[in-house]
Structure 1
Amino acid sequence: MPSESIFGDLTRDDLRELSADAIALMPLGATEQHGRQLPASTDSMIATHLAERSAQLVSEQVQVVLCPALPFGFSEHHLPFGATISLDNDTYIRALTSIGRSLSRSGFKRLIFLNGHGGNVAPGAAAADRLVTELELDLAVAVLSYWECIDDVVRAGFSMPSPGHAGSFEASLISALDADLVRPYGADTQEVLDDAARPLNVSDHLLGTTRLPNMWPASDGVTDAPAEPDPKFGSQLLDALSAAIAEYIRNFDAATR
C-alpha cells in the first residue's frame, strides 16, 4: 500500500485533508484457536491481506484510507480450547462503536469494516445500527464479511468447500499467505478426529441461527476436518476475493457520495 493511504503513516493534517472524501477501511480479525493445524491469527491475517489488496486495486478510482486491523473479536465460543483472546459481545459492540465515532470526529463520513471472523457478524451489525440510527452520526457504515463476496460464479470455478473454521478452506488461504504457519497434516491429526471428536456440522441441517449447549467442544474446535492445504487454490481464491471486494468498494463509493 502507498504510505499516503495508510492511516498510521499519516499526520493529523494529512488525515484532515483526506477524511471528507476518503473511505476508511478497517479489517476486523480475531485471535482464537484454529484447531491443531492453523495459527491463532488466521482470521486477522486473511482480513488484513484482503483489505490491503482490495485497496490497492481501487487506488486509481477511489480514495481509501487503510486503518489498523482490530485483531480481537467476539470469540467466546473458542475460549474452552485456549489460544484465544476474546472481547465479550457488549465490549465488542462498544469497541466498534467507539472506533466509528472516533473516525467520524476525525472527519470521515464513510466506513467499511471488512470482517474475517464469523463471530463478529452479529455484534458488527449492532454497532453499525448504533452508529447510524442511535447516535445519528453523519457516517455511512458497512460491515462486509469477506465470504459474502463468494458468489455462485466463483464457487463454480473453484468447486469450493464452505469457508468453515480451521478446515481445508482456511488452511489453503493461510498456506498461500505463509505456508510455514500451517502445521503438517498427518495420521496423528486424523486419529484425534476419529477417536476424540467430530467436526461441527450444524449449519448443513438446521436453518437460521442455531446455538446448542456444548456444540463447539464436541467438535474439537473445527467445523470441517483438516486436510492438506492447497496453496494454489488459496492464491487463486485470494485474487478472486480481492477483486470482488474491490468491486464492492467501488459500488459503496458510488452509493455514498
Structure 2
Amino acid sequence: MQLHQSSWPEVEAYLKRSRGIVIPIGSTEQHGPNGLLGTDAICPEVIAREAGEEAGFLVGPTFNVGSAQHHLGFPGSITLRPSTLIAAVNDWIDSLVRHGFTRIYFLNGHGGNIAPVNSAFAESYSAWSFDGEACPYQLKLENWFTLPGIQDLVKEMFPEGEGSHATPSEVSVTYYACPDAQKSVEMSPKLAPTGPIRDAADYRGRFPDGRIGSDPSQASPEKGARIVKAAKAALIGEVEAFFRA
C-alpha cells in the first residue's frame, strides 16, 4: 500500500488496523560511470514497495535527497546539510505522529544518512524527555544492505569488486527496478581505489570516476532481482516484528 497512491479515507482506515509505516530514505548523488544518481533512493524504494505489496503495510513517499556533500564534485549530485536533514526528518516524524502513527521505520539506502537520521531520532525523543512525558511512538532506522542475509548474498554474488560506493549490488538493484536505464561503460581501472571520505574536492581527487573499491560492471537486472527478493523477505520479517513491539 503506497501513501502517495492512497486517499485520506484509505489511510484513516489503515490506521484502524495498523499504526506502522515504512519510509524509504536515500540520496541523489553520483554512483560512478554506470550508476544512476538516484541509486540510494531507488534501492530502498523498490524493496519497500514490493514488501509492502506482499505484506500489506503502508509505505510512505521516498525521502530522496540526503546528506551527501562529498559528492558535490560530480554533476547532478544534490545534498542537504546535516542540520537540514535532521530538521526535515523531524517534520516528517511529527506529521505522521499527528495522524496516529506510532511505529515509523526508515529503510535507508545511503551511509551518509545514518548519523543525521539517528540525531533526528534523538532530538525527537528528547522533546518528550524534557516535558517529562512518555514518548508514544518508536522510531527505527535500518539499511537495506544490512538486512539479515543480504551481506552473505552479496559476498556470494560479488566475491571481488563489491567495494563501498557505486557497488555492483546496488547498481544491480537499480537495473532491476529501472531496466531501461542500464549503462554499459568500460571501467578503468577495473577495481577502483579505496580511501577516506572528506570534502567534495578531496573526494573527486581521490576517486576521479566516483567509485570506491568497486567494479559495478558486474551489475545486472537478474542479480538485482535476487537481491530484492532476499531483501523483501528480510524486511517483511523486520517490519512485522517492529510493528508488534
The reply to whether TM is greater than 0.5 is: yes
Counterpart amino acid of 1:222? Answer: R
- Superposition TM-score, scaled by structure 1 size: 0.81
1:9 aligns with 2:15: no
1:202-257 deviation digits (Å, cap 9, x = unpaired): 3xxxxxxx6556552211221123323233222111111111111111211222xx
Using the TM superposition, give the Cα deviation of residue 142 of structure 1 relative to its aligned residue in structure 2, in angstroms: 0.5
2:78 to 85, 89, 92: 85
Partner of 2:173: 173
1:222 to 201, 211, 216: 211
1:77-99 deviation digits (Å, cap 9, x = unpaired): 10111211111100001100110
Which range is displaced more, 151-160 or 87-96? 151-160
Using the TM superposition, give the Cα deviation of residue 171 of structure 1 relative to its aligned residue in structure 2, in angstroms: 2.3
Q: Return closer, same or farther for 1:25/1:175 CA change in 2, 3 Å cut-off.
A: same
Partner of 2:144: 146
1:254 aligns with 2:244: yes
Q: Return closer, same or farther for 1:15/1:149 CA change in 2, 3 Å cut-off.
A: same
Number of residue pairs the alignment of both structures matches: 233
1:132 to 125, 128, 135: 125
Partner of 1:244: 234
Using the TM superposition, give the Cα deviation of residue 27 of structure 1 relative to its aligned residue in structure 2, in angstroms: 0.7
Cα RMSD, aligned residues only: 2.4
Partner of 2:132: none
User: Per the alignment, in what secondary structure is the counterpart of residue 73 of structure 2?
Assistant: helix
Partner of 1:96: 89
Cα separation, 2, equivalents of 1:83 and 1:155: 28
Counterpart amino acid of 1:219? Answer: F
Cα separation, 1, equivalents of 2:216 and 2:154: 20
Partner of 1:206: none
Q: Return closer, same or farther for 1:133/1:36 CA change in 2, 3 Å cut-off.
A: same
1:107-158 deviation digits (Å, cap 9, x = unpaired): 1111011111111111111111222233454211111110111536535654
Counterpart amino acid of 2:218? Answer: E
Partner of 1:205: none
User: Per the alignment, in what secondary structure is the counterpart of residue 48 of structure 2?
Assistant: helix
Q: Return closer, same or farther for 1:225/1:157 CA change in 2, 3 Å cut-off.
A: closer
| 1:20-99 equivalences in 2 (<5 Å) | 21-59=18-56, 64-99=57-92
Q: Return closer, same or farther for 1:118/1:153 CA change in 2, 3 Å cut-off.
A: closer
Cα separation, 2, equivalents of 1:254 and 1:40: 35
Partner of 1:109: 102
- Superposition TM-score, scaled by structure 2 size: 0.84
Counterpart amino acid of 1:41? Answer: G
Q: Return closer, same or farther for 1:98/1:135 CA change in 2, 3 Å cut-off.
A: farther
Counterpart amino acid of 1:106? Answer: H
Name stretches of at least 5 consecutive residues in structure 2 with no aligned partner. 130-134
Name stretches of at least 5 consecutive residues in structure 1 with no aligned partner. 203-209
Partner of 1:184: 184
User: Per the alignment, in what secondary structure is the counterpart of residue 24 of structure 1?
Assistant: strand
User: Per the alignment, in what secondary structure is the counterpart of residue 27 of structure 1?
Assistant: strand
